[in-house]
Amino acid sequence: MSTAIANLKATPRKASGKSEARRLRAAGQVPAITYGKGLAATAISVHPKEVTAILMSERGKNTVIKMDLEGHKDLLVMVRDFTHHPVKRSLEHVDFVQVKLDEPVDVRVPLFTTGKAAGVAKGGLLRQVFRSVPLRCVPDKIPLKIECDVSHLELGEHIATKDLKLAEGVVALLSPELTLVAVVTPEKDRSAEEEAAAAPGAAAAAAGAAPAAAAGAKDAKAPAAAAPAKDAKKK
């Protein structure tokens, strides 16, 4: 396997709940869980510094990890999710998912542009719509990053998902025609921003108009319904 594998020591834990989580953190550990197709959800604890080092590494969440866990041999996992304390920013909890080297996984890989777009020299603006791209591939083929050369882009031109140069076996989980990067004129760029800013207001106005219209319709129907009753009294 060409992809480097990180090592991580994990300890099974029997207790759960907020009090147990606080006890673990006070003891310098972080509560976590690991699960997968052939692995029942297992509550564990890990050292926060070791996990942080993995998350801060070149591959981050896309790092394949060999977990040293009692009762499990050659267990490979990846970080599926994690949470931080809102104030202290310390690691609070980690989810690990089991992976196998011959089975594809879904990941997100950062997208970078190279070169200077020809259209920018003519007054255009380079607009990068996606900063990362969702991919599906076996762990060994997860790219460190995706680069796309934008130097050929003129005003009004773009790079779509189908234009990405991906290795064999690596599939982008986006529509082939979806725009990733484009060179736009300043006027169009401003119009797009104005439309995006106006959208919430328009939605709120539409939402407010609906109850008002319903109330008006209700009031209009009320006199018509009362008329037969009045005529009946005269008889």
Mean pLDDT by 10 residues, the chain (235 residues): 82 86 91 91 95 96 96 93 92 96 96 97 96 97 96 97 97 98 82 55 51 48 46 45
pLDDT of residue 71: 87
Cα atoms found within 13 Å of the Cα of residue 216, Cβ hemisphere only: 6
How far lies 103's CA from each of 63, 82, 146, in Å?
15, 23, 21
Residues 126, 114: contact at Cβ < 8 Å?
no
pLDDT digits (tens, 9 = 90+) for 79-125: 999 999 899 999 999 999 999 999 999 999 999 999 999 999 999 99
Whether the Cβ atoms of residue 173 and residue 134 lie closer than 8 Å to each other: yes
What domains sit in the chain, N to C, each tagged with a CATH number? Answer: 5-100 (2.40.240.10), 106-188 (2.170.120.20)
**DSSP states along 8-37:** EEEEE----SHHHHHHHHHTT-EEEEEEET
Single pTM value for the model: 0.74
- Distance between CA atoms of 171 and 100, rounded to whole angstroms? 18
Residue 187: per-residue pLDDT: 75
